[in-house]
Amino acid sequence: MIKTVLTVDDSRTMREMLMLALQDAGYRVVQAEDGVHGLEVLQAESPDIVITDINMPRMDGFGFIEGMRADPAFSGVPVLVLTTESDAAKKQRAREAGATGWIVKPFDPARLVDAVRRVAA
C-alpha cells in the first residue's frame, strides 16, 4: 500500500527536495507550510508518516508535534524532525514533544528515505 508522508516546512526549496526524494522512493507526499497548516492537512489527509521542520512562522515544529500528539488519532503516527545534527537541545525538545526521530539537514535523499523507512510500520 502506498504510504502518505506529510511534510511541514516553510521553505519551498526544502518542500520540493523532500517531495522529490520521497516520491522517487514511492511515497505519496502531501505538504504544509507551517505548523498551523500542518495540523489542517493532518486532519484532511491522515498521513502515515510526518516530517516537520522546526523553525516556522505561525506555529513551529514543537507546537505542531504537540498539537498532533494531543489528538489520539495521531498519537501513534511517526513524526520525523528535520534538524541539524548538532542541535542536541532541539532534538531533546522535539523528543519531549513526541517526535519519533530526526532527519539531519542537509539531508541526502538516501538517508531521508532510510529514516522514513525506519519509522514506517
Partner 1 sequence: MSDDPFEAIKATFFQECEELLGDLESNLLALESGSTDIEVINAVFRAVHSVKGGAGAFGLEDLVRFAHVFETLMDELRSGRKACDEPTVRTLLRAADVLADHVAAARGAGAPVDPARSAGLVAELETLTHGGAAPAATTDLAEDDDFGFTPIALDLAAFEAPAGLSDLPDLPPLPDLAALAPLEAPMAAVEGGWKIVFRPHPRLYASANETGLLLRELARLGPTRVELDDSGLPTLDALDPNDSHLIWTIELDGDASEAEVRDVFDFVEMDCDLSITPLNAAASTEAPAAVEDDEEAPAEALAQAAAADLDIAALLASVGAAPAAEPVAPEPAVPEPVVAAPAPAPVAVAPVAPAAPAAPPAPTPTPSAPAPAAAAPVTIRVDLERVDRMINAVGELVIQQAMLAQRVTESGLARSSDIALGLEDLELLTREIQDSVMAIRAQPVKSVFQRMPRLVRECAEMTGKKVRLVTSGEDTEVDKTVIERLSEPITHMLRNAIDHGLEGPDERLAAGKPAEGTVRLAALHRSGRIVIEIADDGKGINRQRVKGIAVERGLIAEDAALSDEEIDNLIFMPGFSTATEVSDLSGRGVGMDVVRRSIQSLGGRISISSVPGKGSTFTLSLPLTLAVLDGMVVGAAEQTLVAPLAAIVESLTPDAADIHHVGGVDPVLRFREAFLPLVDVAWCMGFSDQPTALKGGVVMIVETESGQRAALLVDAIHGQRQVVIKSLEANYRHVEGVAAATILGDGRVALILDIDALVSTGRARSPSRAEMQMAS
**Residues that bind partner 1 in the complex, under the rule CB under 8 A:** 1-3, 6, 10-14, 16-17, 19-21, 23-33, 37, 41, 44-45, 55-57, 69, 75-79, 84-89, 92, 95, 98-102, 104-111, 114, 117-121
User: Closest by alpha carbon to 59, among 10, 97, 112?
Assistant: 10
* Residue 62 Cβ vs partner 1, minimum distance, rounded to whole Å: 13
Let me know: does 89 contact 54? Beta carbons within 8 Å: no
Nearest to partner 1 of 12, 51 (CB atom): 12
Shortest Cβ 64–partner 1 spacing (Å): 14
| Burial letters 51-63, b for 16+ CB under 10 A, else e | bbbbebeebbbbb
CB of 2 to partner 1, least distance (A): 4
CB-based contact 25:2 (threshold 8 Å): no
Question: Which CB, 28 or 62, lies closer to partner 1?
Answer: 28
* CA 33 – CA 59 distance, rounded (Å): 10
Nearest distance in Å: CB 34, partner 1: 9
